[in-house]
Amino acid sequence: MKQRNRRASMTTAVLLTMLTAVAACDSVDEDDDDGGAAPETTSMSPWPAIDVYEVPDRVRDATMVWSAEPGIDLFSAEGTVIRAAGESLVIGLMVGLDYTYVGFAASSNSEAGGPLYSLFQADTGQGPFVGTVHGHIQQVIPTDAGFDVLSCLVAVGLDVNADGEYSPSRLTNGDGQELRSSFIRTGDPLTSPAVPQPSSSPVGDDLQWQAPAGNQFGGWEIDGFIDIDPVTSGKGRCAPWAQSLYPDAPRIITRNAYARGTPPPVQTAYPGWPDGH
């Protein structure tokens, strides 16, 4: 337990940089009547999602595209829960923990509290976001309790709209973000592991965020997001993959790198979620 608490503390420190970048990507004049306040939630709000997930408007025009090393099945039970967790992490960093997939907050023991106290804010007040985030599964390592996963994210192709201009989301830099998570089977009889999906999935023509309708995390506990293992972190393991997608991207992407009048291109989500929307 002490080891897990220490790991959680280290993870919080690493994620603080990412969360601060996201919070800063859409500055608002203090004299603005809206003040950049997060949208109000009511008793009729579909978020946080309890049973059926709805894609938030501020995320709808973004997509997530997954790939994996040979031999890793994106549609297996492991691949499915890895993708659901990775997409929830991205959504949480973009717009807040309240908008992540059904069951994510509970399975990852995540609580909203702002960057000084938690990995996530309940609502960042940022967005809308437009463009594409790429995720890549590098290795799935079986453990006695479940499995560990080494994966990567790169969000060079994702912008945030602020005052009518599209600026870098800054979720990651040009070399991508190294992730490492432990998935632990809980044996909870009230839930069940994610059901394996078919080996092929028809993807709609809409270039919008694809999400599962229900809980993909039943029977799993998730520990950690950012890779802090000295054996696998800080080695640039995500850089070759990220640079193959965005060879001209700078290693460090600054907040004021650009402010464009047109949104970035959006790629079709892959593999998507056959039971979702």
pLDDT in tens, 255-264: 889 999 999 9
Output DSSP code: residue 226.
B
Domain segments of the chain: what residues?
2-24+47-245
Output DSSP code: residue 185.
E
Output DSSP code: residue 223.
E
- What is the model's pLDDT at position 6? 40
Q: Which residues partner with 165 through β-bridges? A: 162
Q: Are 151 and 86 in contact (CB under 8 A)?
A: yes
Question: What is the pLDDT confidence band of residue 188, given thresholds at 50, 70 and 90?
Answer: low
* Paired tokens of 215: 């809980």
pLDDT in tens, 34-78: 444 445 444 467 888 888 999 999 999 999 999 999 999 999 999
Spell out the residues 6+ positions from residue 52 whose beta carbon is closer than 8 angstroms to its own.
46, 102, 213, 214
Residue 216 has pLDDT above 60, yes or no: yes
Q: What are phi and psi of 140, to 5 degrees?
A: -115, 120
Q: Where are the beta strands (DSSP E) in the chain?
A: 62-68, 129-142, 146-154, 158-162, 165-168, 177-185, 220-223
Which secondary structure element, helix H or strand E, spans residue 262, and what is its range? none
- Its pTM stands at 0.81
Of the two residues 89 and 50, the one the predictor is more confident about is: 89
Task: Tell me how far apart the alpha carbons of residues 161 and 170 are, in angstroms, rounded to a whole number.
Answer: 12
Of the two residues 3 and 108, the one the predictor is more confident about is: 108
Q: Would you say the C-alpha torsion 94, 97, 103, 107 has a positive or negative sign? A: positive
Residue 23 has pLDDT above 60, yes or no: no
- What is the model's pLDDT at position 223? 95
Residue 217 has pLDDT above 60, yes or no: yes
Task: Tell me how far apart the alpha carbons of residues 229 and 233 are, in angstroms, rounded to a whole number.
Answer: 6
Of the two residues 116 and 103, the one the predictor is more confident about is: 103
- What is the model's pLDDT at position 47? 80
Mean pLDDT along residues 160-164: 93
| Direct distance between the N- and C-terminal alpha carbons of the chain, in angstroms, rounded to an integer | 38
Spell out the residues 6+ positions from residue 144 whose beta carbon is closer than 8 angstroms to its own.
none
Q: Which residue has the tokens 């039943």?
A: 218
Question: What is the pLDDT confidence band of residue 113, given thresholds at 50, 70 and 90?
Answer: confident
Residue 143 has pLDDT above 80, yes or no: yes
